[in-house]
Amino acid sequence: MLGSVSPLDADVDVCYRALAARDARFDGLFFVGVETTGVYCRPVCPARTPGRDRCRFFRAATQAEAAGFRSCFRCRPELAPGAAPVDALSRVVASAMRRIDEGALSPDGSVDGLARELGVSGRHLRRAMQAELGVSPLALAETRRLALARQLIVDTTLPMTEVAFASGYRSVRRFNAAVKARYARSPSTMRRGGRAAAGTGTGAGATDDSLTVMLPYRAPYDWAAMLGHLAARAIPGVEHVRDGVYLRTAGFGACRGWLAVAADGGRAALRATISTSLSGSLMTVVARLRRLFDLDAQPAAIAAHLSRDPRLAAHVRARPGLRVAGAFDPFEAAARAVLGQQVSLAAARTIAGRLVVAGGAPIATPHPELTHVFPSAADISRQPDVGFAASLGVPARRAATLLAFARAIASGRLAFDAALEPASLIEQIIALPGVGPWTAHYLAMRAVGWPDAFPEGDLVLRKRLGGISGRAARALAEPWRPWRAYGATHLWQGGAQP
């Protein structure tokens, strides 16, 4: 019997599936007490998974302790992400890690500046990361920089000065010293005999002013399905799919460029070719590409669970490596959702293309289909009113919703942060004018990567489930938890053969 039903709002079997998969995205949403040991743990605990009949699940650590369980010394439940004050450290750490992955501490960032963005002091952030990860923010950032630097050294022919800059170093001397200290070899020694030297450093769409980065994943990966999804929704001027390659533009302030992503034929990885004009934001680009292509999923565990439902079994057999497409930019995803309300995919693309022409920055690329960078939330938030809707051909009410999204994101009132509890994020989105549960769950799925998001009101999902109501669809999808977003994606694909 549960001490309290889990925050997944489902039975104990749902919690046990998440526990067995050790999916970090559920960390902090529930705790498991093991009756034979008297210990309670987080769902990501490295200890051997206990048998189902020995587990009790709790919504909060305090409930587990009230039931007589003591805290695990290995996974330290008091550090799990959550809403309680005792859990606040890990929420901060999760947010900090995401920002560090995107280059928040390199080359000009500071720990104190990052802490201010997270609403804590620099001392608090240092103590939190040391307590949970055993490293300081700067040490974690150094590890991320060196991992990227090593890939650029070995896999590209990029000059070492540019490698240093792209991986977050402003000083070549410091770059050389850091590489030698970590790998006991100089950068030039590491490059000799590397893949780039063997002539394999080029990638899809590569040019003389681009570099290539490998993005590994857990096999299998249904690249054809991912490309089909992106091609159907490609925004004119910003995105394009051709010959098995996804092309798009990107902009980070004054830093603008293009990228091309294709499957690597010899490894379980995608090959991303990125214009050197984006090298100053390379860590951000890589982090966003991983979220866009859902590269951190565990397809074997997800497929094994979903295939138990007769409604999904054939779909999963046809596409065992299906992923949930994310978003390269949260505001871009929000704009897609708003502009696509009550219109077809083709019409939504047309309207989004008009927004790009009206508010996006022109850019020169070697790909004629890529002409603009998608406008940022700050760009749209500067609109004085909904008058810009006339040029887009959308109702003023929908333009007002888009403007509300832009202002909320630009001001920081709305942040698509994976560390934020999904229910809280969904509530914040629904609070915006003209936004309902479908849009909120859709954005939780795309912009944040929440694996249990389920837009139950979606017409296609309801049709594929037999033309039922949204409430009935939610009931039928209950056995899919905690991976309802993947179940929905299988239905959207329609079970077509790869």
3-class DSSP state of 293: coil
Q: Which residue has the tokens 């009931």?
A: 475
Strand bridging mode 31-34 / 39-41: antiparallel
Q: What is the DSSP letter of 483?
A: -
Distance CA 238, CA 195 (A): 31
* Residue-by-residue DSSP string for 32-68: EEETTTTEEE-TT--SPPPPGGGEEEESSHHHHHHTT
- 45 vs 43: CA distance, rounded Å: 6
Instruction: Judge whether 41 counts as a catalytic residue.
Output: yes
- Active site includes 458? yes
> Dihedral (C-alpha) 247, 365, 271, 334: value to the nearest 10 degrees?
-40
Residue 15 phi, psi (nearest 5) = -65, -40
The active-site residue, picked from 23, 155, 294, 458, is 458
Strand partners, 248: 239, 259
Cβ-contact 335, 392 below 8 angstroms: no
CA distance 339 to 27: 34
Q: How many CA atoms lie within 13 A of 386 on its CB side?
A: 13
Catalytic entry in 15, 23, 27, 41? 41
Side chain identity at 74, as an amino acid letter?
R
Here the tokens at position 85 are: 């004050």
User: Which residues participate in catalysis according to the annotation?
Assistant: 41, 458
